[in-house]
Amino acid sequence: MGTITRSSTSIFQRLGVRPVINACGVYTDLGGTVLSPTVWAAMEEMNTSAVRLVELLDATGAHIAKLMQAEAARVTPGASAAIALGTAACMAGMNGEHWERLPDTTGMKNEVVIQKRHRYKYDRCARIPGAKLVEAGDENGTTLAQLEAAMTPQTAMILFPAHLDERTGTIALRDVTALAKRCSVPTLVDAAYLNYPTERMASFGKAGADLVCFSAKYFWGPNSGGFIYGRKDLIDAVAGVDFTRYESGKYLTFGRPFKLDRQTIAGVVVALEEWLAMDHEARWRGYASKVLWIMQVLSGANVSMQPMYFTMEERLEEAPVNCLAVRFASANAAAAVCARLAEGEPSIATVPVGGHLVIAMDTVLNGQEHEIARRLKEELARL
Ligand SMILES: *Cc1c(COP(=O)(O)O)cnc(C)c1O
């Protein structure tokens, strides 16, 4: 048996990891965001007692459904899991033997149709429960006729990444859901980060989507949280195929590894409530004022700096301001400063984009802009 040693050193030191100032934005590999005191308090309170997880998931699901003006909803361990579980639900429905059989899809519809120009990293999550992706159209786009032709008696679902809606040549969500309904095939929308303006979250259901997935990491909830909302029969199937009742129920369900803590479930709901009630104008003003502060400290430095908008697609646009873009002579120079900021003390994570170094404020805590400005000034003085 080992002995328990108490130490006054911080958990970071004890585990041998460096705290990082995150000036990149919300990235899974940087742990998402720092949870708000309200969210953390809810998680802490949830820690004080056991609860029945099925009851907690049903109750929080009903609550989220109301917020999303949807028939039903369910917390999931992230948007990736929501895609996997939603796809499983579309294939297996309410058939318990099928919940157990996946990812073997024998006896089930197992084709997921996606527009060729909608292929993206997370479409892989639809294949986890055993579905096969069927591409509609080609590199130039997809026509309604091509989408219809891709539908077969084996089609279980259409997967629609909402951030790629309106990409040139693709069919818009409303037209896809209209065709899907005519074919009696559900549409699953990945809207992972499309949570602002907040009305946008419910809009996908209103546009005819049968299931809609969000990641809690993007509304300042737990990095391992998310939810899915939509049609009641499909959410019931998600609840059937998910991790609950594996020991107590009849079926060894496919979703068992997609497990959730009660603390995370509470954190997702409270973070969502907070996000919907937040003064978002003040949030954006906060980013801009941090950017201006850093620019002031660096005034006189021999680089050009501009307040800009670092998009979720990692592009730089003019507005609204959420980052400082520092322009260097070359992409190599930007990458070198990025590396030195990461290695320095404290470690600061930034994003090189071509010849720019992006310092994104979405995840910078109040006061951290001072450290960022100090370190940047040092590095610029070395150029
Ligand atoms: C981050 C992300 C996901 C995955 O969300 P998790 O909650 O991390 O599983 C899915 N789709 C898109 C577009 C994302 O950006």
Q: What is the pLDDT of residues 92-140, one digit of tens each?
A: 999 999 999 999 999 999 999 999 999 999 999 999 999 999 999 999 9
How many other C-beta atoms lie within 10 A of the C-beta of residue 10?
A: 9
Nearest residue (by CA) to ligand 1, atom 2, is 192
Asked if residue 349 lies in contact with residue 358, where contact means CB atoms within 8 angstroms, the answer is no
350 lines ligand 1 (CB under 6 A): no
Q: Which residue has the higher pLDDT, 273 or 4?
A: 273
Q: What percent of the chain has a predicted confidence (pLDDT) above 90?
A: 96
CA atoms within a 13 Å half-sphere pointing along the CA-CB vector of 218: 18
Q: What is the pLDDT of residues 219-259, one digit of tens each?
A: 999 999 999 999 999 999 999 999 999 999 999 999 999 99
Q: What percent of the chain has a predicted confidence (pLDDT) above 70?
A: 98
SS3 131: coil
Question: What is the pLDDT at residue 7?
Answer: 56
195 lines ligand 1 (CB under 6 A): no
124 C-alpha to ligand 1 centroid (Å): 12
303 C-alpha to ligand 1 centroid (Å): 35
Of the pLDDT bands very low, low, confident and very high (cuts 50, 70, 90), residue 302 is confident
Of the pLDDT bands very low, low, confident and very high (cuts 50, 70, 90), residue 366 is very high
Nearest residue (by CA) to ligand 1, atom 8, is 78
Q: Which of 204, 217, 313 to mutate to test the pocket of ligand 1 (most atoms within 8 A of CB)?
A: 217
Of the pLDDT bands very low, low, confident and very high (cuts 50, 70, 90), residue 6 is low
* pTM for the full predicted model: 0.96
Average pLDDT, the chain: 97
**Residue 93 structure tokens:** 């429905």
How many other C-beta atoms lie within 10 A of the C-beta of residue 371?
A: 16
76 lines ligand 1 (CB under 6 A): no
Question: What is the pLDDT at residue 9?
Answer: 81
80 C-alpha to ligand 1 centroid (Å): 6
Peptide bond into 197 cis (omega under 30): yes
Nearest to 83 by CA among 129, 137, 115: 129
Q: Is 332 exposed, middle or buried (0-12, 13-18, 19+ CB in 10 A)?
A: exposed
Q: Is 182 exposed, middle or buried (0-12, 13-18, 19+ CB in 10 A)?
A: exposed
> Does the structure show a pLDDT above 50 at 379?
yes
218 C-alpha to ligand 1 centroid (Å): 9
Summarize the confidence of residues 352-375 as an average pLDDT. 98
Q: Which residue has the higher pLDDT, 205 or 9?
A: 205
Residues 6+ positions from 171 with CB-CB distance below 8 Å: 115, 142, 143, 144, 147, 179
Ligand 1 atom having least distance to the Cα of 161: 13
Ligand 1 atom having least distance to the Cα of 190: 11
Summarize the confidence of residues 321-329 as an average pLDDT. 97
Report residue 22 CA to chain centroid gap. Answer: 17
How many other C-beta atoms lie within 10 A of the C-beta of residue 16?
A: 6
Residue at token pair 């309904």: 181
How many other C-beta atoms lie within 10 A of the C-beta of residue 280?
A: 13
> Does the structure show a pLDDT above 90 at 62?
yes
Q: What is the pLDDT of residues 145-202, one digit of tens each?
A: 999 999 999 999 999 999 999 899 999 999 999 999 999 999 999 999 999 999 999 9
User: How far lies 156's CA from each of 111, 143, 230, 234, in Å?
Assistant: 5, 20, 16, 12
158 C-alpha to ligand 1 centroid (Å): 18
Summarize the confidence of residues 43-72 as an average pLDDT. 98
Residues 6+ positions from 298 with CB-CB distance below 8 Å: 305, 373, 376, 377, 380
